[in-house]
Amino acid sequence: MTSHEIVEIAESPKSNDDFSFRHKPLLYIHSSLKERILHIKKNVSLSELSGSFGDLGTLLPILVALSITGQVSLTASLIFGGLWNIISGLMFRIPMCVQPMKAIAAVAISANLSIGEIMSAGLGVGVMVFILGITKTIKFIEKWTPVPIIRGIQLGAGLSLIIKAADMVRKNGSWGGSSWKWNDNYEWAILSFIFVFAFYSSKRIPTALILFIFGLIIAFIKVFVSNSTLPSISFNLPEIVVPTLEEFKIGFLSASLGQLPLTTLNSVIALAALANDLFPERSSLNTVKKISISVGLMNIVGCFFGSIPYCHGSGGLAGQYRFGARSEVSVLVLGFFKLILGILFGKTLTNLLNYFPYSIIGVMLFVSGAELSSAARNFMNTRDHKDDDETKKNFTLVIVTAGLLVGFQNDGIGYIGGMLVSLLFYITRVLMPRFCASK
């Protein structure tokens, strides 16, 4: 029995059988608060601290790229990112990640969108996802999406992370010679790769924490050597950003529409499936409705202060879980860490983060992708396990969905293609024999 399982048993709220919030609200709140504190205290560990850094491979590159150009506020992104980490941890009670919206970030970088246009894109997605959740439409989409297609989205998203990780290392790495960079090279990537997978199954070695500290040391040395500006302590608060109607139009049409399928399918539906695989005891909390409402509120609030558009994501959860996160403790620690950095240092952290080795970040992102991809192995419905033909068709659905997603770099195309093939399989398996028999 693992320590996580021990905690869950120890926390059985038997006292709640004796009273309810309606009958004895103060007693109920006291009991619930006591149980939460006990749960958090028992899960404080190095592995949780390591797991809190498991999603940096997605966060740092995007945040640095957009904050350097002033397209988002680093101060607001850190402060609100920290707040969302803390709130998500307390609400979902698992290491629920908070990561940038990747499709919006890609368009923002390539099209050089202004801060108002990026905020508009985030607001647009936030409002639409919030409506899907509050009206329970997202539950309808989840109900009618076959399990193999959800697994295909997870596999495709995981492979996309692996490809991005390889690109990150390849573009910033070098082998010896005059172009060799001591702080960011293939050698660091290879050593990090070996280190992570040598201790892949170990729960005592906080690999993500060690890699983060090592990368931070390299970044500090590089800042000193290059005579760049060091982070300085001051009091920082986010400023209000109100997009114009024209900015909202550009941001919505150019970035929101491309992000919506990614957020709905990967950040809500696939995430809920992964969360319930990893934490079945929390299935009542990690529903698609609650996750979509959470994503919506994060952006409806944060995007009025210049924060980068945030969402949850199955890749982030997979990465944090792989690096040791087993409870909300990991994201609570990460949230407080971001809050302190945002309030005390703000945008002065830009130079330091810019020098963090991409060779190390790439390896951490690669591991996240591998962990998410492995979730696709559970692609069968229980009733289909003994049917070889059905197994083959389900696996084909996984591959078709993942292949279209990776090939076109679009979750929506992967989903539509998978659903189309699923419909064709249904017609040939059920409707065609009935039609032939009626003749």
Q: How confident is the model at residue 1 (pLDDT cuts 50, 70, 90)?
A: very low
List the single range of 32-46, 205-219, 267-281, 284-298 with lowest mean pLDDT: 32-46
Percent of the chain whose predicted confidence (pLDDT) is above 90:
73
pLDDT reported for residue 435? 62
Q: How confident is the model at residue 437 (pLDDT cuts 50, 70, 90)?
A: low
Residue 390 placed within a domain: no
pLDDT reported for residue 84? 97
pLDDT reported for residue 174? 79
63 and 32 inside one domain: no
pLDDT tens, position by position, 99-153: 999 999 999 998 999 999 999 999 999 999 999 999 999 999 999 999 999 999 9
3 and 59 inside one domain: no
pLDDT reported for residue 94? 95
Greater model confidence, 29 or 146:
146
Q: How confident is the model at residue 384 (pLDDT cuts 50, 70, 90)?
A: low
State the Cα–Cα distance between residues 82 and 69, nearest whole angstrom. 22
- Segment 66-87 shows an average pLDDT of 96
Residue 399 placed within a domain: no
pLDDT tens, position by position, 296-353: 999 999 999 999 999 998 999 999 999 999 999 999 999 999 999 999 999 999 989 9
Q: Determine contact, residues 414/152, Cβ cutoff 8 Å.
A: yes
50 and 32 inside one domain: no
State the Cα–Cα distance between residues 412 and 100, nearest whole angstrom. 19
Residue 381 placed within a domain: no
pLDDT tens, position by position, 211-222: 999 999 999 999
Q: How confident is the model at residue 171 (pLDDT cuts 50, 70, 90)?
A: confident
Q: Write out the two tokens for 298.
A: 């994060």
How many domains would you assign to the chain?
2
165 and 25 inside one domain: no
Q: Could you tell me the CA-to-CA distances from 424 to 219, 394, 420, 431, 432 in Å, in that order?
A: 53, 13, 6, 10, 10
- Segment 86-93 shows an average pLDDT of 95
Provide the H-helix boundaries in 93-203: 102-111, 115-134, 137-143, 147-172, 186-198
Half-sphere exposure of 165 toward its Cβ, with a 13 Å CA cutoff? Answer: 27
Greater model confidence, 56 or 437:
56
38 and 55 inside one domain: no
pLDDT over 60 at 47, yes or no = yes
Q: Which of 373, 270, 292, 342 is nearest to 92 (CA)?
A: 292
pLDDT reported for residue 24? 65
Residue 403 placed within a domain: no
Residue 169 placed within a domain: yes
239 and 348 inside one domain: yes
pLDDT reported for residue 302? 97
283 and 300 inside one domain: yes
Q: How confident is the model at residue 55 (pLDDT cuts 50, 70, 90)?
A: confident
Greater model confidence, 311 or 5:
311
- Full residue range of the structural domain in which residue 26 is found: 1-42
Residue 83 placed within a domain: yes
120 and 251 inside one domain: yes
Residue 73 placed within a domain: yes
Under DSSP, is residue 310 helix (H, G, I), strand (E, B) or coil?
Answer: strand
